[in-house]
Every structure is written in structure tokens, then in C-alpha cells.
Amino acid sequence: MKNLLLIFPKVLLLGAGFWLLTSGLFAQQCKVKPIIKTCMTSMAPYQYDAYAVKEIVYGPKTKKEIIEFAVYSGEEYKLVFGKTVLPQEVGITIYDGNPKTKGKIVFMDESGKKDNFVCNFLPTKTGTYFIEYEIPVATAPNQKGCFVVLIGIKE
């Protein structure tokens, strides 16, 4: 029992160290503050509310990943997508519900833009909306990027 108590803190310490190391590596890959600062110019006249960050890891197959965010009906929203630190274009589709069940498409980007871009919309219902990222096949080993979305509300 005594040995278990001595090992337990070491395991916690190692786990915490690993988490700090990986989050530090992600922070080096994804410098969020400069991206947010660049995207803020596109937010006006909407009031900045929140942001979400997604590390994009390209692999041997095309894949889709999802971020959820809450909206209220009757409010106007603006999403500013910062895609400037992506080595390859990522497709974006916004749904008014879970895309795996019955969500309907609110917005779809197939433009191939490399810069930041904007989506304005007025939700018809209060609830959770979903941003689905379509990540293409990697064109180089260990290909990663950072995707930031700013959410604003019209005041």
C-alpha cells in the first residue's frame, strides 16, 4: 500500500508533464492571439463573443471533424474563420443540428479561399449548431495546421 502511494504521485506528475508538453507543442504550432487579432478586423460591427480553436492533423484519408456552438433564435451571428495557418484548404459546412442525424446545412464553403472569410446568419431555432471541417489527405508527412473561428453577435 505504501509503495502504491509513492507511485501514484509520480504517475500524476508524469501525466501532467505530458499534457503540458503536448499543449506547449500545440501552442507553438498554433499561435492563437495573432490569428484572433487579424480576424477581429472582420468582426465589425458585430460584438465579439467567443472563439474556438481546432488543431487540424492531415492524414492518409480524408476525414471530418466537428466543433459545436450554441445560438439563440432571433440573434444575428457572424463567424469569422481564420484559416491562414493551414498548409491545405479545409472545407467548412455549418449545420443547425448534428450532421450525422438530421442537421440541415446553414452554410457551406467550397470556394477554396486561403484567407479568412466570414459567414453571417440568423438562426431559426435556439440550440446547438455544428461546424464540420472536411480535412483533405496529407500531401506531406506530419502535416498539421491551426483553424480558429471567432463568433460574434449583432448588438
Domain spans of the chain, in order of start = 1-30, 32-153
Task: Output the pTM of the full model.
Answer: 0.72
Please tell me the class of the 32-153 domain. mainly beta
Per-residue pLDDT in tens (0 to 9) along the chain, 155 residues: 444 444 444 433 333 333 333 333 344 467 888 888 888 989 989 999 999 988 889 999 999 999 999 999 999 999 998 876 788 888 889 999 999 888 888 877 755 555 567 888 889 889 999 999 899 999 999 899 888 999 999 97
Q: Which helix (H) or strand (E) holds 11?
A: helix 2-29
Measured torsion, CA atoms of residues 10, 13, 19, 20, in degrees rounded to the nearest 10: -140
